[in-house]
Amino acid sequence: MALLDKFASTAAIRDQLGADGQDPTDVVIDQIISPTEGLVGGRHTILAGTNNYLGLTFDPACVEAGKKAIEEQGTGTTGSRMANGSFATHTALERDLANFFQLPYGMVFSTGYAANLGTLTALVKTGDTVLLDSHCHASLYDGCQMSGANLFRFRHNDIKSLEKRLQLLGDKTENCLLITEGMYSVLGDTAPLAKIVELKNRYGALLLVDEAHSLGVYGECGRGVAEAEGVLGEVDFVVGTFSKSLGAMGGFCVSPHPELELIRYVSRPFIFTASSSPSIIASTHEALRQLRARPELRETLWRNANHLYEGLKALGLHLGPQVSPVVAVRLGTKEEALSCWNRLLEAGVYTNLMIPPASPGGFSYLRCSVSAAHTPEQLERIISAFADLKTQLL
């Protein structure tokens, strides 16, 4: 059984995570009460780590759209988009997503992870070069590594580091893809996209921006950080997910380039993955309509984000560099972070534990993701729970 010996180290990590109480990677929410509340271990708990930014998971119109789709189209497609799993509702969502971003072309994938893998493995190949922000999501790294392209990181949000990399490429920049995120999921900071676009244009590279956490959050119309910085029309590929602001599951890529229509013919994660079920497509489509029709959701989200950030900042805690719906409290050791996470859960507050190597800078974090559905009272309870930990956190 030597093939299985490698799992001994994994078992040791799992045992360490559960040594101080609940294993953060094995939390079961026994009952979902609302977008911001649930029962965990029989305890009424505020959900402060869901990425449910607009709070649309229980929206009546979205729920009804999903129910209707099941009744009319069944529970699943039972096939890939290239075989038998492309329904009229899939293509309608693609058209409306592209229209939302004011771009001509769009593709829908079954997951956000598949969207990144599927887009990148089609875009870049052996001999091409990718310059990737060091804080980018694992799915972006995986897609680049699977593609066979030459992969180089530049320092997080560091324009000088990026330009130095571009200069070293010389005349190879035309075969170069730059990759960044809009809002980063651990610290909640945003990319300097206007400056990155300026470099992209000067050196003749292409740019892909992952707006997974910034869709519905940034920009006058909720199109993301690229819209907020006024450069959406100069981004070559925008990827994202339905599992954050749109409250469902799936991923997408939109682009001004007609070559996006050809990616579906060479993208293995697209070709060989079953397409999203009709109910997911329907609820996602309705959530997109809600995002466009209800800007007050975004206004409430930002009011809540400021409330939580300022409340935790007043406690003297180490937070991310800017106010955003991702509010991360920086800690020291993994053991300290694990203990604090368990104490918060015992106090009825569920957060996300982020530890190295999944978190940047060698630090551990307790990450909160704010929702438009959080009430002021819930936010005060979260702040109060952190205040009770203050002596341990500082």
CATH of the domain at 362: 3.90.1150.10
Give the residue from 243, 260, 293 where a domain finishes.
Answer: 293
Q: Are residues 318 and 366 in the same domain?
A: yes
Separation CA 268–CA 169 (nearest Å): 29
Domain finish residue from 261, 276, 293: 293
Q: What totals of helices (H) and strands (E) does the chain contain, helices first?
A: 15, 14
What is the spatial distance between Cα 62 and Cα 64, in angstroms, rounded to a whole number?
Answer: 5
Would residue 338 count as lying in a domain?
A: yes
Do 73 and 122 lie in one domain? The reply is yes
| Same domain as 312, residue 205 | no
Q: With 0-12 CB in 10 A as exposed, 13-18 as middle and 19+ as buried, what is 154? A: buried
> What is the model's pLDDT at position 394?
57
- 50-65: per-residue pLDDT in tens? 999 999 999 999 999 9
Do the domain assignments include residue 52?
A: no
In a domain, 212, yes or no: yes
Would residue 224 count as lying in a domain?
yes
Residues 190 and 301 placed together within one structural domain of the fold = no
Task: Supply the pLDDT for residue 387.
Answer: 95
N- to C-terminal Cα separation, the chain: 46
Same domain for 169 and 41 = no
- Give me the residues paired with residue 369 across strands: 49, 326
Please indicate, yes or no, whether residues 383 and 258 belong to a single structural domain of this protein: no
283 and 154 fall within a common domain:
yes
Asked whether residue 151 falls in the same domain as residue 224, the answer is yes
How many of the other CB atoms lie within 10 Å of CB of 23?
Answer: 16
- Which residue, of 247, 266, 293, is where some domain finishes? 293
CATH code of the domain containing 191: 3.40.640.10
- Domain containing 88 equals 60-293
**pLDDT score recorded for residue 73:** 97
Residue 260 makes CB contacts below 8 A (sequence gap 6+) with 105, 106, 107, 237, 253, 254
For residue 105, being part of any structural domain is answered with: yes
Instruction: Give a yes or no: residue 10 inside a domain.
Output: no
Within this chain, do residues 279 and 289 fall inside the same structural domain, yes or no? yes
Is 375 part of any domain? yes
Burial class (CB in 10 A: 0-12, 13-18, 19+), 387: middle
E strand spans, 182-295: 206-210, 237-241, 251-255
Same domain, 385 and 319: yes
Residues 272 and 326 both lie in one domain = no
Domain count, the chain: 2
Task: Note the pLDDT of residue 393.
Answer: 60
In the predicted model, residues of the chain with pLDDT beneath 70 are 1, 392-394
Looking at residue 347, what is its pLDDT?
95
Same domain? 242 vs 122: yes
For 296-325, what is each residue's pLDDT tens digit?
A: 999 999 999 999 999 999 999 999 999 999
Looking at the domain assignment, is residue 3 inside a domain? Answer: no
